[in-house]
Structure 1
Amino acid sequence: MRARRSLSKVTDAAPTHDELVELVSAAGRVADHKELRPWRLIEIRGDDRIALGRAIAKSEGKKGVYSKPLRAPLLIAVVASVRSKKVDAWEQEATAAGVAHALSLLLDEAGWGVFWRTGDYTRAKAVAKAHGLEKGEHLLGWLYVGGKPERSRPLRGKTIDGARHLSRMPRGKKD
C-alpha cells in the first residue's frame, strides 16, 4: 500500500474475468453495516467502452465518442446501491467506495495499473442508462485497469505525514 500510485497510462493487458472475480470476492470484505452489500461492479471491456464513450458525449450535449473510456482495456464501474432506509445512504455509499478502494489496492498488488476516474457525467441520465442503473443506484466512477508500463516512474515525494492528519478528540471546557 505504501508504494501504490495511480497510473493514468496503462498497457492493453488486463486481468481475466476469473481473476477479477477472485479479487472482487476479497474486496467485498470491507466494513458493511448490516451486511447489506450496497454495491455492485460492472465489467466494461471492448466495444462496451465505446458505448460508454457515446453515453458520456451525449451527457455533455456532444455527438461522437468521448475517448477517455478507451484509455484502458478494462473499466470497472462502481455502483452504490442504496438498499435500506435503516442505514444512512452515506454509509452505504461509503461501503461501495470502500470496495472500490480495496479492489484498486488488490489490483495494484496483483501487478495491474489502476486509476479511479470520476466526473460530473457520473450522475448523467445517459450514463446511468448505459450502465442499466436501477432506482436507488448511482455511479461513483470507474476503475481503469490495465498493465503497468515497463517504464512507470517511481513513486517520489508522495509520502503522507500521518501526524499532520491525526489528532486527539478535543476536551470540552470545564464550566
Structure 2
Amino acid sequence: MGNDIKLIDYLRQRHSTPVAQYREPGPSQEELTEILRFASRVPDHGKIAPWRFIVYRGDSRVKLGEEFLRLSLEKTPDMTEAAQQAELARFSRAPLVVAVVSTAAPHAKIPEWEQLLSAGALCLNLVMACEAHGYVANWRTEWITYDERVQSALGIHEGEKAAGFIHIGSSDFNTPDRPRPDLADIVSWVE
C-alpha cells in the first residue's frame, strides 16, 4: 500500500477520506494505467468482464459540473448558492474521477447478480489500488448515479449502470475513524 503500508495494516485502518479534503496531484497516466490494471483483477465468474471504466480528467469535470447544476436547477430552481457551487464542483473536487460502469446483462451461465457483485468488487479494488500507489480514493454514488437525465453526459449507455464514481487524489487530512459494527451484531456462527 502507499508508503509501504502492509495490506493487513491498511485493512485494519481502512476509511474514506472526505472528497472535500482532496488536492493535486492525482496519478500520472502511467500510474493510472497500472491502477486500473490492478483494479480489474477481481472475481469475474465466466471471465466476461461485466464492467468498464470511464476516466474524467481536466476540463471534462468542469463541463460535467455545469450539466449537474443545470439538471439540479430543473428540479430545484431555488437552490442556494452553496448548493449550486457544490454541483459545479461535484467532479472537480478531486484531480480525477473514475466511473465503474456495470454492463451486467442476461447471460446463459452467469447470473446478473454475480455480475453486479463483480462491479462492486471492482470499485473496492480500485480504491485499494489507488491507496497502494500512495493516493486517496473515495467511492461515491450520489444522485447522478440514479438520474437517467445525466447518464448520456457521463458516457453511460442504455442498459448500463454506474456502480460508483471513484474520486482520486492526494490528501494529508487525518480522517477520524467512524464507529464500526460490533461483530456480535453482524456474525452468525453455524457449527
Q: Does the alignment reach a TM-score above 0.5?
A: yes
Alignment-mate amino acid for residue 39 of structure 1: W
Does 2:188 align with 1:167?
yes
Does 2:62 align with 1:50?
yes
Q: Which residue of 2 aligns with 1:153?
A: 174
TM-score by length of 1: 0.83
Answer whether contact 1:23 1:106 (CA < 8 A) is retained.
yes
Q: Which residue of 2 aligns with 1:12?
A: 24
Unpaired runs of at least 5, structure 2:
1-10, 78-83
Answer whether contact 1:59 1:121 (CA < 8 A) is retained.
no
Number of aligned residues: 168
Q: 1:55 & 1:141 partners in 2: Cα distance?
A: 18
Q: Which residue of 2 aligns with 1:70?
A: 92
Answer whether contact 1:58 1:126 (CA < 8 A) is retained.
no
What is the deviation of 1:94? 1.3
Of 9-18 and 76-85, deviating more is 76-85
Q: 2:164 & 2:66 partners in 1: Cα distance?
A: 16
Q: Which residue of 1 aligns with 2:41?
A: 29
TM-score by length of 2: 0.77
Alignment-mate amino acid for residue 54 of structure 1: E
Does 2:127 align with 1:117?
no
SS class of match (1:12): coil
SS class of match (1:105): helix
Answer whether contact 1:4 1:105 (CA < 8 A) is retained.
no
What is the deviation of 1:83? 4.1
**What is the CA RMSD across the aligned residues, in angstroms?**
2.3
**Which protein is richer in helix relative to its size?**
2
Q: Aligned residues: percent identity?
A: 29
Does 2:119 align with 1:107?
no
What is the deviation of 1:140? 2.1
